Amino acid sequence: MTDNEEKQSRFMKDFDRLEEIVRTFEQGELDIEEGLKLYKESAGLVKTLQERLEEVENEIEQVQKQTSNGKDAED
Amino acid sequence: MPGIDLDMSEEHIFSVSEFNEYVDLLLGQQLPEVVVEGEISSLNLRKNWVFITIADEDSRCEVFSFEHQLTHTLSMLEEGMLVKVYGRPGVHTRSGRFRIHAEHVLPSGEGALRVAYEKLQQKLAAEGLFEQERKRPIPFFPETIGLLTAPDSRAYSDFKKVLGERMGGVKILFYPVQVQGAAAVDEIVAGLEWFAQTDQAVDLLVITRGGGSLEDLAAFNTEAVVRAVYGSPIPVVAAVGHEADNSLVDLVADLRASTPSNAAELVVRHRDELTSRVTGYQDSIYQRLELIVSGNRERISRALVSAERFFQAQRYVVSQYERRVEAIRIQLNRMVADHIMHLRLYGRDIERYLQTRVNEMAAELDSLKRLLAHLNPQSLLERGYSVTRGPDGTVIKDVLDLRLGDRLFTQLERGTIESRVEKVKEHERSDSSINNQ
């Protein structure tokens, strides 16, 4: 589950960061140094995001109901 | 307590209690669960007990239950409503009355369900459960989706299929439930509670089933399920029935989808959409960077041009200075050359002049020395002069400075004379003062 949390926050973090960089470019009077630095960062983000989007299979896990307690299939 | 397999060949005499208990047990064994439909002719609550009488045109039947067992539906029930009673028939041993011990009492038939639906909708709307303001946003990119629906149902396969067409890498945590029938309400509520307490990170819940009659969808119009959805800590997307069906779960959910497929469309973005957004961002960033670079290029070339101009101007100034320095240098050289020439030409004369001057000065110095020698007192003494001093050592120049009897010291060239004043004689004036002494 922590894997999943990290995975999720990573995609959204990367996506949000990419949007932030776009906004910085749109608003800011960036100098060439900053521009190149952000461009490099965005290229890394795009790569990670695209890799995630290229995943094909969805995983299905059925919850094993246990009426006595709330334990689930992973316990 | 009589056994069920009572031997009836012999005459058996029951006590009243035994008889009632026996019949109760027998009924329970023969008819463990029945569903009886009838119209509610009376509905009474006493303490925690619920007493209902249901009837059709010819007969009536008593129904007993506990209030906590009917919480899901009790508020919807009213007299005159057609209901289905799910329960176990039995005999109340103390009174000997025959009745159904109900586990569920559900409105039955479109009319009753419509009435029940409207009654509950009004009640929950008054409480603010359907308010738009309380609806939570659906996560933009869910990685784990909780799914509540019937296993092997069309809703399940449609949702899964459409989700897979749109996005990969998503985890579906599937909690199978019955979506209709008496057990549906409890199972759906249990499912929602399971998701509420699981320590798995679930981004959103999808609760769905395919279309059906109002009766088929009845579980999704019960207070228990609606409140469980309302109480879910995880945002809920509901797709119950078809577009036209508006279950109360649809109304209370954070987002309503028209069908199970539509639910999948709403909860995950299509990978193509996200990919094009990401590449669009990348393009936009690249274009902006290019603008910065070309802007810089232009600035740099402009700067180069103006720098060129500046240097040209500077070069002119420098060359002017250089010319002047050169002129001065030439002038200086000329002057130095002249001086050297002069020195060469007049060198001897200067030397001669200086020698003469030195000689003159030496002669002058000599005469000065001689003059100085003449002025020395010792040389005066040498020539016969002497110096007389008084007792205090001062040189006596005037007789008026002396008294009779004063001791005098007279310095000669060689030796000193000590004497005493006996008489004083002025040279140019009468010396009365001395005489008087």
Instruction: Give the whole-angstrom CA distance, residue B280 versus residue B265.
Output: 22
**Which of B276-285, B318-327, B422-431 bottoms out in mean pLDDT, i.e. has the lowest?**
B422-431
> Quick one: average pLDDT of B14-38?
92
Contact A11, B275 (CB under 8 A): no
Instruction: Tell which residue, B288, B247, B26, B296, has the closest CA to residue B117.
Output: B247
Q: State the greatest distance between any 2 C-alpha atoms of chain B, in Å, as a whole number.
A: 206
Decide if B107 contacts B77 (C-beta within 8 A).
Answer: yes
- Of B131-140, B375-384, B409-418, the poorest mean pLDDT is in B375-384
Chain B residues in contact with A5 by the CB 8 A cut-off are 201
Residue scoring higher pLDDT (B7 or B55): B55
What pLDDT does B303 receive? Answer: 73
Confidence (pLDDT) at B380: 67
Cβ contacts (< 8 Å) between A62 and chain B: which residues? 151, 174-176
The predicted model gives B375-392 an average pLDDT of 74
Q: Which of A20-24, B272-276, B425-429, B431-435 has the lowest mean pLDDT?
A: B431-435
Residue B331 CB burial class (10 angstroms; 0-12, 13-18, ≥19):
exposed
Tell me what pLDDT residue A67 has.
57
Select from B144, B160, B163 the Cβ nearest to the Cβ of A4.
B144
What's the rounded mean pLDDT across residues B331-343?
Answer: 72
Q: What pLDDT sits at residue B166?
A: 93
Check residue B351 and give its pLDDT: 63
Identify residues of B whose CB sits under 8 angstroms from chain A CBs.
140-144, 151, 160, 163-164, 167-176, 190-191, 193-194, 197-201, 203, 271, 274-275, 278-279, 281-282, 284-286, 288-289, 292-293, 296
B435 pLDDT above the threshold of 50: no
Q: Does the pLDDT of residue B2 top 50, yes or no?
A: no
Q: Which of B225, B219, B206, B220 is nearest to B159 (CA)?
A: B206
Mutate to test the interface with A, among B140, B163, B285 (most CBs of A within 10 A): B285
pLDDT confidence of residue B245: 67
Q: What's the pLDDT at B344?
A: 66
When scoring B289, B290, B296 by the number of chain A Cβ atoms within 10 A, the one with the most, hence best to mutate, is B289
Q: How confident is the model at residue B49 (pLDDT cuts 50, 70, 90)?
A: very high
- The helix (H) or strand (E) run that includes residue B430 is none
Average pLDDT, chain B: 84
Contacts 24+ apart (CB under 8 A), B328-336: none
Closest chain B C-alpha to A31 CA, distance in angstroms: 7
The pLDDT confidence band at residue B1, using thresholds 50, 70 and 90, is: very low
Supply the pLDDT for residue B59.
94
Please list the rounded mean pLDDT of every run of 10 residues in chain A (75 residues): 54 91 86 85 91 88 70 39
Q: What pLDDT is attached to residue B183?
A: 86
CA-wise closest residue to B190 among B236, B252, B232, B144:
B232
Of residues B408 and B315, more confidence is placed in: B408
Give the residue, B11 or B351, on which the prediction is more confident. B11
Share of chain B above pLDDT 70, in %: 86
Q: Shortest CA distance to A39 belongs to which of B285, B284, B278, B275?
A: B285
pLDDT tens-digit series, residues B91-139: 999 999 999 999 989 888 888 888 888 889 999 999 999 999 999 999 9
Contact: B292, A32; criterion CB under 8 Å: yes
| Mean pLDDT value of segment B375-395 | 75
Q: Are A58 and B163 within 8 A, CB to CB?
A: yes
C-alpha dihedral, B395 to B398 to B402 to B407, nearest 10°: 40
Inspect the interface and report whether the beta carbons of A42 and B282 lie closer than 8 Å.
Answer: yes
User: Which residues of chain A have a CB within 8 Å of the CB of B289?
Assistant: 25, 35-36, 39
- Asked if A62's CB is within 8 angstroms of B168's CB, the reply is no
Strands of B204-209's sheet in order across: A59-62, B171-176, B144-149, B204-209, B236-240, B255-256
ipTM at complex level? 0.79
Task: Please give the interface size between A and B, counted as residue pairs whose CB atoms are below 8 Å apart.
Answer: 121
**Averaged pLDDT for residues B153-166:** 93
Average pLDDT over residues B378-398: 78
Contact B168 A55 (CB under 8 A): yes
Q: Which residue carries 């002017």 as its tokens?
A: B320
